Amino acid sequence: MLFPAIILAIATSSLGCAQATNTTESENDYLNALAAAFADAGLTALRDAAARLSNTSYGRTIVSRLSQGGNYTIFAPTNEAFSGASDELASNDELLARLLSYHIVAGDFTNDNGTLASSLSPNNTVGRTLLNDTGVVQLEGNKSQVLVWSSLNDEIIIQNQALNITVLQSSVVPNTSVLLNSINGFLAYPTNTTSTLVAHNLTSLTGLLESTNFTASSTGLNRTLHTGFDEMAHGFTLFAPNNKAVVDAGDYLASYAGNMTAFAAIVGNHVINGTTLYSPELKHAGTLTSGSGEGLMFTSNSSGTFVTSTVGKSHVASARIIASDIPTMNGVIHIIDHVLLSVYTDKAAAKSAYESMTQSSGNQNATATETGAVGGQTMQSANGAVLSKAQLGNKASGLANMALGVLGLTTLRAAMI
């Protein structure tokens, strides 16, 4: 599926390689090494654009982070990609730095043969980028935004993009721990939830969110659920029924027509709020707590990963995840093939889970970024080579979250608490 987020384009004119005086000598050396690697790979337009990183505080933060060492994976647009881009950012270095930061992933994703490692479709590899500008990223614990990719037919495809963006070739930058991957387009970072749902043709769910109201306890204002997702939530995992699933559940939903409390409960039982859980984490998540206080049990087999709503020991409804890891600016969406039909609520359980996760997120280092695959999943190259544990990077953050046991929170804190 395509994800037509706003693509911030970069000017194609040569901007020179002069560095701002605010960068240190080591940072300049690092930039020069990258510039040489870009030129050697024929990525001269990217070389010229990268020189502008030192023109802004946000860009210098990126350069400083890179120059401190560690493993990084860069997705580098080709000259052809630059030539087709708009020139609206020719003078906007801040937006340029923001865009380029989404093309840099923390961690070692390098195969033994110097190529990019990737999970085989339908599984995904999820990496944490350096994009953490609060204007476009609102994840829990001030986490950076993620990038998702997978391998299919010996081709590595970047997921959730409006265009079919693939990795063309990879090489390790000399004297660094950087894997450079040329790609045939610019990567668009995620936008808000409503735009993302519409982009993936989840129009039935979008309509339900737009027509369901709740009263925000913090303000006393009457708001729609889609506004809550777009503007109030900071970290959530939404299991979004596709259009067919909503149509199939039409009679059940119609029986609650006009009952905003029931609709809010139904939506809440499709959400784990306060945390973004990606597909590698869901496979081993066990049972979590939904935004309405219901249990959500996760199981995986050869047919895929399933989510089952539970009340006590009773299984209420089940659905298969048919598309996963669709990021928004403040959460993640997984598409499911059935509506989890339940109006059950347990406010005490929802509140307890919410408070637990809020405390966990608050205790995390706001500047910390996972290095390696989110969830610590085993990855494979296109030729099927399995990576070693050392190549998976630091998994501590993801595993620590999973060890909390109960990660689910209220769908919308103002709606349910």
The predicted structure's pLDDT at residue 406: 23
CATH class of 25-131+146-183: mainly beta
Which of 60 and 176 is assigned the larger pLDDT? 60
Q: What is the CATH number of domain 193-359+402-416?
A: 2.30.180.10
d(CA 247, CA 402): 34
pLDDT exceeds 60 at position 367: no
Cβ contact 274:358 at 8 Å: yes
- The Cβ of residue 226 has, within 10 Å, a number of other Cβ atoms equal to 21
Tokens at 376, concatenated: 């610590």
The position carrying tokens 């401190």 is 68
List b or e across 100-138, with b for residues whose CB sees 16 or more CB atoms inside 10 angstroms. bbbbbbbbbbbbeeebbbbbeeebbbbbbbbbbbeebbb
- Same topology between domain 25-131+146-183 and domain 193-359+402-416: yes
**Two tokens, residue 379:** 């990855």
pLDDT for the residue numbered 28 = 79
The distance between the two most distant Cα atoms of the chain, rounded to a whole number of Å, is 68
Would you say 172 and 114 are in contact if contact means Cβ atoms under 8 Å apart? yes
Give residue-wise pLDDT tens across range 170-202.
999 887 889 999 999 999 999 999 999 999 999
**pLDDT computed for residue 358 by the predictor:** 66
Sequence spans of domains, the chain: 25-131+146-183, 193-359+402-416
State the pLDDT confidence band at 91, using cuts at 50, 70 and 90: confident
Task: Say yes or no to pLDDT of 257 above 70.
Answer: yes
8 Å CB contact between 296 and 309: yes
Q: In Å, how far are 81, 89, 101, 160, 321 from 86, measured between CA atoms?
A: 10, 8, 18, 21, 37
Q: Which residue has the higher pLDDT, 396 or 230?
A: 230
Residue written as tokens 């995992």? Answer: 237
- Rounded CA-CA distance 100/60 in Å is 12
How far is the C-alpha of 163 from the C-alpha of 320, rounded, in Å?
27
User: Confidence band (pLDDT; 50, 70, 90) for 362?
Assistant: low
Using alpha carbons, list the distances in angstroms from residue 195 to 63, 199, 202, 326. Answer: 32, 6, 10, 12
Q: Per-residue pLDDT for 3 more than 50?
A: no
For the chain, the average pLDDT equals 82
Mean per-residue pLDDT for 329-339? Answer: 98
Q: What pTM was estimated for this model as a whole?
A: 0.83
- CA distances 256 to 208, 219, 261, Å, are 12, 27, 9
pLDDT band with cut points at 50, 70 and 90 for residue 404: very low
Higher pLDDT, 222 or 394: 222
Could you please report the per-residue DSSP string of 162-186?
SS--BEEEEEEPTTSSEEEEEESSP
